[in-house]
Amino acid sequence: MSQRKLRLGAFIMATGHHIAAWRHPGGQIDAGTNIDHYIALAQTAERGLFDQVFVADTPGLRFEGSDEAFSRQGRVSYFEPVTLWAALSAVTKHIGFVATASTTYEDPFLLARKFASLDHISKGRAAWNVVTTSAENVYGNFGQDKHPEPEVRYEKAQEFVDVVKGLWDSFEDDAFARDPASGVYFDPAKLHPLNHVGKHLKVAGPLNLERSPQGYPVIVQAGSSEPGKELAAATAEAIFTAWTSLAEAQAFYSDVKGRLAKYGRRPEQLLVLPGISPVVGRTQAEAEAKWAELQKLIHPSVGLNTLEPFWPGEDLSKWDLDAPPPYIPQPPLGRNSRAHVVLELARRDKLTVRQLYEYLAGARGHWVVVGTPEHIADQMQSWFENGAADGFNVMPPVLPESLDDFVDLVIPELQRRGLFRTAYEGTTLRENLGLERPANQFSVQARKAA
Amino acid sequence: MSQRKLRLGAFIMATGHHIAAWRHPGGQIDAGTNIDHYIALAQTAERGLFDQVFVADTPGLRFEGSDEAFSRQGRVSYFEPVTLWAALSAVTKHIGFVATASTTYEDPFLLARKFASLDHISKGRAAWNVVTTSAENVYGNFGQDKHPEPEVRYEKAQEFVDVVKGLWDSFEDDAFARDPASGVYFDPAKLHPLNHVGKHLKVAGPLNLERSPQGYPVIVQAGSSEPGKELAAATAEAIFTAWTSLAEAQAFYSDVKGRLAKYGRRPEQLLVLPGISPVVGRTQAEAEAKWAELQKLIHPSVGLNTLEPFWPGEDLSKWDLDAPPPYIPQPPLGRNSRAHVVLELARRDKLTVRQLYEYLAGARGHWVVVGTPEHIADQMQSWFENGAADGFNVMPPVLPESLDDFVDLVIPELQRRGLFRTAYEGTTLRENLGLERPANQFSVQARKAA
C-alpha cells in the first residue's frame, strides 16, 4: 500500500528563527549574506530529503523601536530570494526552492520571467510564495505613501496571479520543433500573447521564455486572513500557516480544504503545511537546556521592544525584569488576538517581565516543540494523522545547528515510522509533492475549440 | 614594467551571434534555456581567463516580419540574465557577470537589491549593463502604449543610476560589529535612508542589504548615441560598442574618453570595449570555409526579412536570390546610416540578393574577423595599441564551438604577445579590470563634515 507521506519544507531564514540565534555558537553570524552558509543549508536539507527550502521576504528594512534595540537585530541585511535560489539550484539536484515575492510591489512581467527562469535553471524545482506585503517601511521604497487597503491588495493579487500564469503559458509545450535540417525553430501559431487589460493590470505579453519543466512553478500562499484563505483556495497548491494547538490547526485545515470545491479543485490539490520550530535533544532535559540557553541570549532591550506595543507610551527600560509588569492594561479594541493572549498570560500566570518577553520573542507566535526526536515525531504524526497537516514547514531556531539536528535525529525517526520518504520520488518539485503538472491554458482552449 | 593588458568579455548570447548559429552542428540547439550549456560556457570563459561574461537583454519578445521568417528565429526563449548569472556564480570562481537591465521598465529598489544580491552571492563579480530599452514589443508588457521619448529615457536613466547607487550605499562598510558577546549586530548611525524625491523617481530606502564586496557592481553602458555617450561618461566604468573600422573605433574612443573630465573622472575609469566576432581557423582557408558554412545556413526567408526594411512595401520572396535586386531605392531620409551602407553596397558592388542578405544577416553590423589566431590577434593588437580599445567584447558566432576555438587558439597567442593575463590578478571583477572600489557616499559626506 502506498502510504500517505509527510511533505517537509525547511524554512531557512538566515541564522534561524529564534530572535537571538545570531548570538548562538551554533548559528552563522553573518548568515544573511553568506552564500556558503546557504549552500550548506540547502545541501543539508537535500540530505534530509526535504521537499523544499523556503525564505520569507519583505522588500524593505522594517523595524519599530529604539536604535538600542534595532542595533541588536540580526535580520537587517540579506539576499533577495530568487537570486539566492538560482545560485543554490546550481549546487543541488533535488530540493525545491520557494521564493517569496509581492503582488503589490513587483511587476507581473518581470516576476513571471524571473520565476520561469528559476524553474528552467533548477530543472523544475521552483515555487512562488505569493504575498501582498503588509510590513511598514516598504511602500516608501516604491514611491507610495501607504499600502493599498487589504481588500484592494488581495483583489489585485488574484488578478496578478492570473496574469503571471497567462504569461507562463505564452508558448505551448510542443511549440518548439528546433529542426536544423528544415531551419524551423518553433511554431508561431503556438505562441500566445496575453493582451490582458484588467482592473489593476495591463500586460500584453507574450513572455520571451518557453514553458518551464513544471509547466509553471508551484504556487504557495502564506496568509491566514479571510482573503488570504480565499486566494489560497482559488490558486495555491501549498499553504504555510502558523498554529500552536492541534485544535486550531484542525479548524484551519478543514476550513481551507472546504473552500476548494467552489473553485473546481480537489482537497489534495492544496497542501496545508503548518510551521513547527523544533528544539531537538537526545533527552528531554538536553532539549530544554538548549532552549533555555537560546532564551538567555535575548538581550533585555530586544525583549522589551517586543512588549512595547502592549504598553503603549510606557518606558519599559525602567522596569524590573524579574518582577511582574507593574500593571496590566486592557487589550486595545480592534487589535489582533495576540495582545489578548499576552496580557492574559501576564495576568493569569503572573509571569515576570523577562518570562513574558522570552515567551513572546522566543516563539514569535510559532509552534515551538522542545524534546527528543520521538517526542517531536509524535507531535508531527498527531497533526498529520488527525486532519491538521499534510506536512510541515520546519523552522529551525538556529542555523545551521538546528537543521543538522533535525536531519540527523528527527528525519530517521519519521522514516522508521513510514511517515517520510527514504528517497526522492521524482525529479521536479511537483513530482515530489505529488502535485500535477498544469496543462497550458491555450492548449486546453484549442482542444475545446476543436 | 607592468604592461597594459587587454580586458576581455565573452558576449555569450545563447547559441551564438550568427543569425543561423542554432542550425550549426557546433551550436547548442536549445541554448537559450539550457543551463548546462551556460555552465559550460562560463567555465570555458574562465578557463580562458576572460574578465567577464555578458548577455544583452530585452524584456519582451521582439520580431518584425512574416510568421515564416519568425518561425526560423532561434532567439525567442531565453533566461532572465540575473537569475542565470546567480546560478553560474555558484559553479565558477573568477569570471565576472554583466547583466543587462532596463532603467525604463524596472523598479530601482528591486533592481538595486537583485544586483547587490548578485554581487554578494558571486563574492564581488557582478556588473550592471544599464539600458533604456528601445525595442518594440516591450512597452506593452508594462502597460504602456509607447516608449518614453529617448531624451526622457536617458534623463530618467541618470536619475535611476544615482538612486540605485544611493541604495547600494545604505549601510556604510563598517556598519556591522556582529559581536555576540555584547549582542550588538550593527550601528544604526551607519544606516542611511535615501529619501529620494526626483523628477522621475521617489524612493525612500534604505536597502535591506549591506554593501557588497565591490562596493557596488561595475556599471556598464552599451549605447553609442549622443545621450548614451553622455550617460557613459557620467556613470559607466565600461562601455560596449560596435565598430567595423579602426578609424571609427578611434574616433569613438577619444570622444568618450574626452567627456570624462567634465564629470571629474580620469580616462582609465571608463574602459572602452568594442565588439569583435572572431571566426578562427588554423589556416586562413579553414577560417573562411567555416564562415561560408555558417552563411549558407541562413534560410532565404530569414535573409530576405533582414532586407525588407530597405525595400518597404515590396514582396521580396519573388526575387531571384542569385541576381542583383531588381532596383535600388533611394535611402529614406532620416534613417540611420546603415541603410545608406547597404544600398550603396548593392549599387556599387552589384551584390546578388543572397550576397546582400548574407552581408547583413551574418555580421549584423558587428566587426567580423575571419582568420588564423595570429591574424585575429594582429587586429586586436592594432586596435588596442592605437587608441581604439581597452579590450574587447568577444562575440562568438557559434556557441559553444567558437568560444572553445577562441580560448584554445587566440588566447594563447595574445598571452605570447604579453597582451593578456596568464592568471587572474584579483578576486573581484573590479580588481581584475583594474577599477577602483568606490567609496560609500555617506562615509565620504561624514568625513567631509568632520
Q: What is the pLDDT of residues A135-147, one digit of tens each?
A: 888 999 999 999 9
Residues of A in contact with B210 (CB under 8 A): 33, 76-77
How far apart are the CA of A335 and the nearest CA of chain B, in angstroms?
28
Which residue among A331, A363, A395 closes a domain?
Answer: A363
How far apart are the CA of A24 and the nearest CA of chain B, in angstroms?
7
| A129-138, A195-204, B11-20: range with highest mean pLDDT | A195-204
Q: A66 vs A221, which has greater pLDDT? A: A221
**What's the mean pLDDT when you consider all of chain A?**
94
If asked whether residues A315 and A391 sit together in one domain, one would say: no
* B30–A176 C-beta distance less than 8 A: yes
If asked whether residues A406 and A314 sit together in one domain, one would say: no
pLDDT in tens, A358-398: 988 877 778 999 999 999 999 999 999 999 999 999 999 99
Q: B2 vs A115, which has greater pLDDT? A: A115
If asked whether residues B254 and B209 sit together in one domain, one would say: yes
Question: Is pLDDT above 70 for A329?
Answer: yes
* B74–A185 C-beta distance less than 8 A: yes
Scanning every residue of chain B, which has its alpha carbon at the shortest distance from the alpha carbon of A190?
A: B71
| Percent of residues, chain B, with pLDDT higher than 70 | 98
Q: What pLDDT is attached to residue B2?
A: 57
- Report the amino acid identity of residue A11: F
* B186–A109 C-beta distance less than 8 A: no
If asked whether residues B193 and B178 sit together in one domain, one would say: yes
| Residue to test with chain A: of B67, B121, B187, most A Cβ within 10 A | B121
Residues of B in contact with A106 (CB under 8 A): 107, 110
How far apart are the CA of A241 and the nearest CA of chain B, in angstroms?
25
pLDDT in tens, B100-153: 999 999 999 999 999 999 999 999 999 999 999 988 889 999 999 999 999 999
Q: Is residue A40 part of a domain?
A: yes
Q: Is residue A1 part of a domain?
A: no
- Return d(Cα B154, Cα B224) in angstroms, integer: 12
Q: How many residues does chain A have?
A: 450
Structural domain total, chain A: 2
How far apart are the CA of A18 and the nearest CA of chain B, in angstroms?
14
If asked whether residues B306 and B418 sit together in one domain, one would say: no
If asked whether residues A357 and A222 sit together in one domain, one would say: no
**Any alpha helices (H) in A139-279, and if so which ranges?**
150-168, 226-235, 246-258
Q: CB of B343 within 8 A of CB of B313? A: no
Q: What pLDDT is attached to residue A169?
A: 98
- Return d(Cα A175, Cα A194) in angstroms, integer: 16
Q: Looking at residue A191, which CATH number applies to its domain?
A: 3.20.20.30
Q: What pLDDT is attached to residue A1?
A: 41
If asked whether residues A213 and A291 sit together in one domain, one would say: no
**What's the mean pLDDT when you consider all of chain B?**
94
Q: What is the ipTM of this complex?
A: 0.96
Question: Is pLDDT above 80 for B331?
Answer: no
* A207–B110 C-beta distance less than 8 A: no
pLDDT in tens, B347-369: 888 999 999 999 888 777 789 99
Residues of A in contact with B71 (CB under 8 A): 184-188
Grid cell locating A186: 518553433
If asked whether residues B266 and B347 sit together in one domain, one would say: no
Scanning every residue of chain B, which has its alpha carbon at the shortest distance from the alpha carbon of A202?
A: B143
Q: Is residue B1 part of a domain?
A: no
How far apart are the CA of B76 and the nearest CA of chain A, in angstroms?
6
Stretch among A287-301, A359-373, B428-442 having the lowest mean pLDDT: A359-373
Q: What pLDDT is attached to residue A250?
A: 98
The mean pLDDT of A338-366, rounded to a whole number, is 85
Question: How would residue B336 be classed by pLDDT, with cut points 50, 70 and 90?
Answer: low
Q: What pLDDT is attached to residue A163?
A: 98
> Which member of B30, B120, B143 has the closest CB to residue A79?
B120
If asked whether residues B277 and B293 sit together in one domain, one would say: no
The mean pLDDT of B409-433, rounded to a whole number, is 98
- Return d(Cα B372, Cα B225) in angstroms, integer: 33
In which domain, by residue range, is A306 found? 285-363
Which residue among A313, A346, A363 closes a domain?
Answer: A363
If asked whether residues B196 and B147 sit together in one domain, one would say: yes
Q: Is residue B329 part of a domain?
A: yes
Question: How would residue B337 be classed by pLDDT, with cut points 50, 70 and 90?
Answer: low
Three-state DSSP string of chain B: CCCCCCEEEEECCCCCCCCCHHHCCCECCCHHHCHHHHHHHHHHHHHCCCCEEEECCCCCCCCCCCHHHHCCCCCCCCCCHHHHHHHHHCCCCCCEEEEEEECCCCCHHHHHHHHHHHHHHCCCCEEEEEECCCCCCCHHHHCCCCCCCHHHHHHHHHHHHHHHHHHHCCECCCCEEEECCCCEEECHHHECCCCEECCCCEECCCCCCCCECCECCEEEECCCCHHHHHHHHHHCCEEEECCCCHHHHHHHHHHHHHCCHHHCCCHHHCEEEEEEEEEECCCHHHHHHHHHHHHHCCCHHHHHHHHHHHCCCCCHHHCCCCCCCCCCCCCCCCCCHHHHHHHHHHHHCCCCHHHHHHHHHHHCCCCEEEECHHHHHHHHHHHHHCCCCCEEEECCCCCEHHHHHHHHHHHHHHHHCCCCCCCCCCCCHHHHHCCCCCCCHHHHHHHHHC
If asked whether residues A180 and A267 sit together in one domain, one would say: yes
Question: Is pLDDT above 60 for A182?
Answer: yes
If asked whether residues B291 and B205 sit together in one domain, one would say: no
Question: How would residue B1 be classed by pLDDT, with cut points 50, 70 and 90?
Answer: very low
Q: What pLDDT is attached to residue A400?
A: 97
Q: Return the closest-CA partner of residue A9 out of A276, A371, A332.
A: A276
Which residue among B322, B346, B363 closes a domain?
Answer: B363
Q: Is residue B250 part of a domain?
A: yes
